[in-house]
Amino acid sequence: MVKLPIPHQGPGDVESRAAAGARRCQGLLLAICLRLSWEEKQSGNLEDYEETVKKAKEAWKVWADIPAPKRGEIVRQIGDALRQKIKVLGSLVSLEMGKIFVEGVGEVQEYVDVCDYAVGLSRMIGGPILPSERPGHALIEQWNPVGLVGVITAFNFPVAVYGWNSAIAMICGNACLWKGAPTTSLVSVAVTKIIAKVLEDNKLPGAICSLVCGGADIGTAMARDERMDLLSFTGSTKVGKQVALMVQERFGRSLLELGGNNAIIVFEDADLNLVIPSALFAAVGTAGQRCTTARRLFLHESIHDEVVAKLAKAYAQVRIGDPWDSDTLYGPLHTKEAVKMFLDAVEQAKQQGGSVVCGGKVINRPGNYVEPTIVTGLPHNAPIVHTETFAPILYVLKFKEEEEVFAWNNEVKQGLSSSIFTKDLGRIFRWLGPKGSDCGIVNVNIPTSGAEIGGAFGGEKHTGGGRESGSDSWKLYMRRSTCTINYSKDLPLAQGIKFQ
Ligand SMILES: *[C@@H]1O[C@H](CO)[C@@H](O)[C@H](O)[C@H]1NC(C)=O
């Protein structure tokens, strides 16, 4: 069920991007956007939520009875439907979120990829048959869907994060109830309509993948609701903590993907031809609004000045512009509040001893543009360095030794992504080992961002501990039963207990 929200954004956000792009953009897309955002300004309320949960629960009864490989077939069709609309959906992401067009398309591609992955998985999920210590008994692990999976996603990946959750949750046999970010509701509506059509063409209830657009009231209702068998939340650590506590209060299950404060460490033996584009992409891509954005760059003292100079040169060449232009590499921030947070962080960095090597200012053009920024000279433990600011600010820090820099990588509260650049084999394995990076994503000679769907995605500590997408993440969307079946004729109890 679809209810449209009142756009939270004023001129300078989605409307100004639409107006600026009107000359070039696909006329139809624009017409849809304008009609959706201006004529039907309506947000889902708690009554709508109640009705939607009931419909999703009803739909689950149908979905749970369908064999997993057949559910996979439906997910395959969803992937195909997304493939057909990949460009138009990518443009809508670009329009509403503000990321550049290729990244918007890339995000839909991630959803397509995870659908393919889920199709294969739909024939593989299952548990082992374990050896029973009792004669004539079988010990079987059975996995069942949890039921209804609530998915709350953030503005920065308005398609991919829902895709990761819903494709896997669906093949596991769950119904989904999605609440996207209030500022990217057009994307949520468009994606839901594509999925609903596939379901309904297969004579299945569209409510298997339900949507409620709304604000914090809906999010809170989901967190408190016992009927939400799993709540997957992607967003800030601050809100994620509130969600986690509300879900824990009712002994519910949550899957959390929260903040990151990701570091790239460059050793003296690193290939600097790799380092410069990698650091640039990780720090500046999506205007610094990825959870895996590189925010800290640790440089060995022997190469510090050289790398800073080269990086500043590379920053100066970043093509800033309209996210819809194929030439643009770097677009605007999502909202005006983000611009304010950017300026605050730059100010704090200066107060705490940092020097702005490049950037640091708002760009004088409509639409929330700020300069990609490099700050040097801060101590590794400056409070601002330990703060995740969702903006393109890179703190460059100097180190001497491996041991200290591994410790600095781990000293922040968050534990999402991390990278080293080196050719030293021993160091690489120390980095992957128990005294190396404590993050969920641990890279070597590639940057912190750009995860593949085949691996488990997520992080430790204040990042929330959840894992999504690949590997055995599917287990988080299911409940495990340990089943003992007696097929014998007598009564041997476990541990040799005699009960007479
Ligand atoms: C297993 O089933 C048989 C046949 O019903 C019964 O005689 C036996 O007591 C059962 N064993 C246990 C451990 O329950």
Confirm if 427 and 406 have CB atoms less than 8 A apart.
Answer: no
Ligand 1 pocket member 491 (CB < 6 A): yes
Sole residue written with tokens 């896997």: 168
pTM summary value: 0.92
Measured in angstroms, how far is the CA atom of residue 137 from the centroid of ligand 1?
9
Domain span holding position 33: 16-258+464-481
Distance 480 CA to ligand 1 centre (A): 25
Residue 35 falls inside a structural domain? yes
Please report whether residue 359 resides in a domain: yes
Give the per-residue pLDDT at 15: 56
What's the CA gap between 273 and 148, in Å, rounded?
48
Does a structural domain hold residue 36? yes
Given the residues 110, 257, 371, 388, the one annotated as active site: 257
Domain-located, residue 158: yes
Please check whether residue 4 lies inside any domain of the structure.
no
486 C-beta closer than 6 A to ligand 1: yes
The CB-side HSE value for 441 (13 A sphere, CA atoms) comes to 35
Q: Write the CATH number for 377.
A: 3.40.309.10
Q: Which two tokens stand for residue 4?
A: 């449209």
* Closest protein CA for atom 4 of ligand 1: 489
DSSP 415: E
Ligand 1 neighbourhood includes 488 CB (under 6 angstroms): yes
Same domain, 254 and 266: no
CB 158 within 8 A of CB 249: no
Compute the distance between CA of residue 301 and CA of residue 399 in angstroms, rounded to an integer: 6
Per the structure, how many domains does the chain have?
2
- CA pair distance 390, 338, nearest whole angstrom: 7
Closest by CA position to 228, among listed 189, 179, 195? 179
> Based on the domain organization, do 120 and 150 belong to the same domain?
yes
For residues 249 and 322, state if they share a domain.
no
Q: Do 268 and 323 lie in a common domain?
A: yes
Question: Is the C-beta atom of 132 inside 6 A of ligand 1?
Answer: no
Beta-carbon count within 10 A of 38 CB: 11
d(CA 329, CA 100): 7
The reply to whether 40 belongs to the active site is no
Regarding whether 46 and 80 lie in a shared domain, the answer is yes
Ligand 1: centre distance to CA 144 (Å): 26
Measured from the Cα of 493, ligand 1's closest atom is 13
Q: State whether 254 and 396 are in the same domain.
A: no
Same domain, 470 and 428: no
**Which positions ≥6 away from 282 have C-beta within 8 Å?**
262, 264, 292, 293, 294, 419, 447, 448, 449, 450
Does residue 7 form part of some domain? no
Q: Is the beta carbon of 489 within 6 A of some atom in ligand 1?
A: yes
With residue 308 as reference, give the H or E element that holds it.
Answer: helix 304-316
First to last CA, the chain: 59
C-beta of 484 in contact with ligand 1 (< 6 A): no
In short, whether 487's Cβ falls inside 6 Å of ligand 1 is no
3-state secondary structure of 174: coil
Q: What is the DSSP letter of 389?
A: -
Do 222 and 312 belong to one domain?
Answer: no
In this structure, the answer to whether residues 324 and 439 fall within a common structural domain is: yes
How much distance in Å is there from the Cα of 481 to the middle of ligand 1?
21
Please state, in angstroms and rounded to a whole number, the distance separating the CA atoms of residues 5 and 7: 6
Residue 10 within a domain? no
In this structure, the residue with its CA closest to atom 5 of ligand 1 is: 489
Q: Is residue 497 part of a domain?
A: no
pLDDT of residue 498: 72
Q: What is the pLDDT of residue 31?
A: 46
Burial level of 87, CB count in 10 A (0-12/13-18/19+)?
Answer: middle
Q: Same structural domain for residues 133 and 277?
A: no
- 364 and 248 assigned to the same domain: no
Q: Which amino acid is at 92?
A: L
Same domain, 53 and 160: yes
pLDDT truncated to tens, each residue of the chain (500 aa)? 444 443 434 334 665 555 444 434 444 455 455 445 444 557 899 999 999 999 999 999 999 999 999 999 999 999 999 999 999 999 999 999 999 999 999 999 999 999 999 999 999 999 999 999 999 999 999 999 999 999 999 999 999 999 999 999 999 999 999 999 999 999 999 999 999 999 999 999 999 999 999 999 999 999 999 999 999 999 999 999 999 999 999 999 999 999 999 999 999 999 999 999 999 999 999 999 999 999 999 999 999 999 999 999 999 999 999 999 999 999 999 999 999 999 999 999 999 999 999 999 999 999 999 999 999 999 999 999 999 999 999 999 999 999 999 999 999 999 999 999 999 999 999 999 999 999 999 999 999 998 899 999 999 999 999 999 999 999 999 999 999 999 998 765 667 777 66
